[in-house]
Amino acid sequence: MIPLTLRVNGRERRVLVEPRQSLLRVLRDELGLTGAKEGCHRGECGSCTVLMDGVPLYACMTLAPEAEGREITTVEGLLDGEALGPVQDAFAEHDAFQCGFCTSGQIVAVEGLLRANPQPSLEEIRTGVSGNLCRCGAYPNIFRAAGRAAELRAGRGGDS
Partner 1 sequence: MLPNFAYVRARTVEEALEHLGGEDTRVHAGGTDLLGCLRDRVFAADKVVSLRDVEGLTGIRRAADGGLVLGGLTTLAEVSRSSEVRGLYPGLAQAASAVASPQLRNQGTLAGNLCQRPRCWYFRGEFHCAKKGGAQCYAVGGQNRYHAVLGGGPCYIVHPSDTAPMLLALDAAVRIVGRAGERAIKLAEFFVLPEVELARENVLAPGEIVTEILLPPAPGLYSSYRKVRERGAWDFALASVALALRSIGGRVTQASVVLGGVAPAPWRAEAVERAIVGTTVDEKTARDAAAAAVEGAEPLEWNAYKLPLIRGIVEESLRRFHDYQPS
Burial class (CB in 10 A: 0-12, 13-18, 19+), 61: middle
Site string for partner 1, 113-152 (x = CB under 8 A): x-------------xx-xxx--------------------
Rg (CA), the chain: 15
Looking at the DSSP assignment, which residues form a beta bridge with residue 8?
Answer: 11, 72
Site string for partner 1, 27-66 (x = CB under 8 A): --------------xxx--x--x-----xxxx--xxx-xx
Number of residues that bind partner 1 (CB under 8 A): 27
Looking at the DSSP assignment, which residues form a beta bridge with residue 57?
Answer: 50
Q: How far is the CB of 58 from partner 1 (least distance, A)?
A: 5
* Residue (56 or 77) nearer to partner 1, CB: 56
Instruction: Indicate the length of the chain as a whole number.
Output: 160
Mention every residue, 6+ apart, whose C-beta is less than 8 A from residue 31.
6, 8, 13, 15
Interacting residues toward partner 1 by CB under 8 A = 2, 18-20, 22, 41-43, 46, 49, 55-58, 61-63, 65-66, 109, 112-113, 127-128, 130-132
